[in-house]
Structure 1
């Protein structure tokens, strides 16, 4: 274990225990301490749901991206696990950015993430360079691959930026290969989604440009996810700098769902329907998993980059995840409902009817607690 990772684990263990349980939401995931953004590595592994997240344990503001980690049996009650990744290698010393997780054939869990370094230009300025790296572990401790990064600028299609090349989402294909989609910025300055393939999860090759924005929906497309659902192929992504279209896309940094057919020859998505995913102001960087019972379940960062200044900053932690949602496709639309595990929380019903509320001091027997539905 590197000194940087050990430091993060010690710090969060001490500081996280100072935050009382009642100072956190009952069901929404919060960082153990410090800052949280994008969900990462949402997966089912060794009988538990795992969720990693973009994490800065040392401050309630974005900086020095680590991977935080929580696990759950029911997607509602989460336990903290020590920090999974720290930016402790030359290729990721400016951050372990967003990514995903999958189980390998040998039973280990593979994490795939965006590793960020910087380069100095001729005029003396510096810029980020984004590559993709992997780490393997047992659900608690992870070791970075000694041949990282596994995808670099040489693996990009012509015109694609090595500055905006991030957020790999990995899955296992029906052909036995691993695949991942990655957000990219092409020469036109907008966004596109790249598709890559691997036989083992460590050695990758470019397959195609799966989908192109062509300056229709915002600019850079971040945090893509791609899966088959109810006979259709679904692409989820979070575009930056979106402009409203009627009732859609009012959040600036928003959400986009494209539903269509996959061309097996060209490996491109043929769009049929497009929609926003959430109409509130706090929903970004969605990620899904395929549950053991076949459900496609989605979670997201319950925050928006445009509203970060509006907050109370005395809690020791900042930001939280949405409640997970079950997805389906009907009549060309993405449908979302709360996970059915919530039903188990409803018991011992107490009901009052025709009660007149005259002031704020009304007390009703057995109506108490800190949660409400």
Structure 2
């Protein structure tokens, strides 16, 4: 393992940047056998400032190779969050007739005013350049509108873009386009509890077979419904992850676009303390999303099982079950209570409602700086930053029944 990825403050089960500050994942997409992860990045400091887009790739969603900066601030401002499109049929006309579809990155140019721009690649994501007719959406609200997300609406035969309009209104605007370059606003909507970093995806309900549109935002709140012309009509709502009361939890994720076979994989920023002056923050584990009777479920991708090993590495996956009783668990000095009477999990100050009655099966991932809890059917997902107390064991004196412990090797090996 490289020393640069084995520092004591470095997460070992999830992606982090080699140097500098990291936050929102951006432009997630799959192309030609590789998953492309772009993200907000300050390469010069472990604090948030002067946002760039950094780039990493993976063939398995587990092991990542960092490639470096693809977009840096310019005269239009810092480069804030956005999404990606693999323009398979070259509807934008930005392709070069070389048999490689262009990959378009939609981003917010965060200057004195906020506008939305495009950068694109014609060599499969190796290099990107800005579109020479930016912005494709000009200033709208003077409230730091940001974070464009784009999908193809196959029913209507148009591209749709969703944009956060700022903290004053907490509204999101919907736009449509035939060519990814010229955009017309069609409607506005709100997501209860919603703020910034929207995403849109098409999913098939595994029970009803209905095809639905999901719109979601940074805090994990979502609406499930359909497009009616340029309007979104909601049928269900929910929240597919829970956030830490400290503000250091799962935030601002999006899904990888263009994955084959309708697979939906979501990745978010795992907020953390700033622990040193060289690098800070990480991504979450990638999770697979499913839709069941209008409810969005999140489970760790099965590829993560490749990390299981025999050696005690200090990173672990714990599998266990709880019922109507109360069970206590202490992980490196961090207390968790599974209260069957109150039907809740308590982690620090956080209180998480049980997703169902009866016996529940859990998977708890322990990294160097975080704990991430999943209910096995995907009905609860929670991540939080932790401190490991000195001279404390992995598990305290009380252990859940039927506990399985899997040690996990580093993704950097």
Q: State the TM-score, normalizing by the size of structure 1.
A: 0.72
Shift of 1:190: 3.1
Cα distance in 2, alignment partners of residues 343 and 285 from structure 1:
25
Q: How does 1:210-359 map to 2 (within 5 A)?
A: 211-213=189-191, 216-217=192-193, 221-229=195-203, 230=205, 231=210, 232-238=212-218, 254-259=219-224, 261-275=225-239, 277-280=241-244, 281-290=248-257, 291-303=259-271, 310-314=273-277, 316-346=278-308
CA distance in 2, matches of 1:270, 1:361: 48
Deviation at 1:37, TM superposition (A): 0.6
- Residue equivalent to 1:133: 117
TM-fit CA distance, 1:177 = 2.9
Aligned equivalents of 1:179, 1:56: Cα separation in 2: 30
Question: How far apart are residue 295 of structure 1 and its match?
Answer: 1.1
Give the structure 1 partner of residue 319 of structure 2.
Answer: none
Q: Among 92, 103, 106, which residue is 2:86 paired with?
A: 103
CA contact (8 A) 2:46 2:274 kept: no
Following the alignment from structure 2 to structure 1, what is the Cα–Cα distance between the partners of residues 119 and 157?
Answer: 20
Post-superposition offset of 1:348: 7.0
SS at structure 1 position matched to 2:262: coil
- Taking the aligned partners of 1:313 and 1:26, their CA distance within structure 2 comes to 16
Q: 8 Å contact 2:175–2:230 — kept in the other structure?
A: no
Q: TM-score, normalised by structure 2?
A: 0.65
Comparing 134-143 with 272-281, greater Cα deviation is found at 272-281
Contact 1:283 1:300 in 2 (8 A): yes
SS of 1:223's partner is coil
Runs of 5+ in structure 1 lacking a partner? 1-16, 119-128, 239-253, 351-358
Q: Deviation string for 1:225-253 (max 9, x for gaps)?
A: 11222233211102xxxxxxxxxxxxxxx
The C-alpha deviation readout for 1:139-190, integer Å capped at 9, x for no partner, is: 121110111111013xx4xxxx23231101112221443221111138xx33
* Whole-Å separation in 1 of the counterparts to 2:158 and 2:52: 28
1:305-356 C-alpha deviation (Å, 9 max, x unpaired): xxx6x43214x21000000000112133211110011233346799xxxxxx
CA gap of 1:282–1:199, structure 2 versus 1, over 3 A, is: same
> Displacement, 1:369?
7.3
**Of 18, 42, 53, the match for 2:28:** 42
Structure 2 segments unaligned to the other structure (5+ residues) = 96-100, 313-390, 395-405
Matches of 2:84 and 2:292, distance apart in 1? 28
CA contact (8 A) 1:84 1:140 kept: no
- Distance in structure 2 (CA, Å) of the matches to 1:72 and 1:288: 15
CA distance in structure 1 between the aligned counterparts of 2:14 and 2:57, rounded to whole angstroms: 13
* Higher share of residues assigned helix: 1
2:370 equivalent in structure 1? none
Aligned to 1:19: 4
Q: 1:271 Cα deviation (Å)?
A: 4.2
SS at match of 1:99: coil
- Secondary structure in 2 aligned to 1:132? strand
Per-residue Cα deviation, 1:28-60 (whole angstroms, up to 9, x for no partner)? 111121000100001012221001000100000
Contact 2:311/2:407, CA 8 A, preserved across alignment: no
Aligned in 2, Cα 1:164/1:347: closer, same or farther, shift over 3 Å?
same
Q: Is the 1:81–1:140 Cα contact (8 Å) retained in structure 2?
A: no
Give SS of 1:293's match: helix
Tell me, what secondary structure is at the counterpart of 2:305?
helix
Query: Would you say 1:202 and 2:181 are equivalent positions?
Result: yes
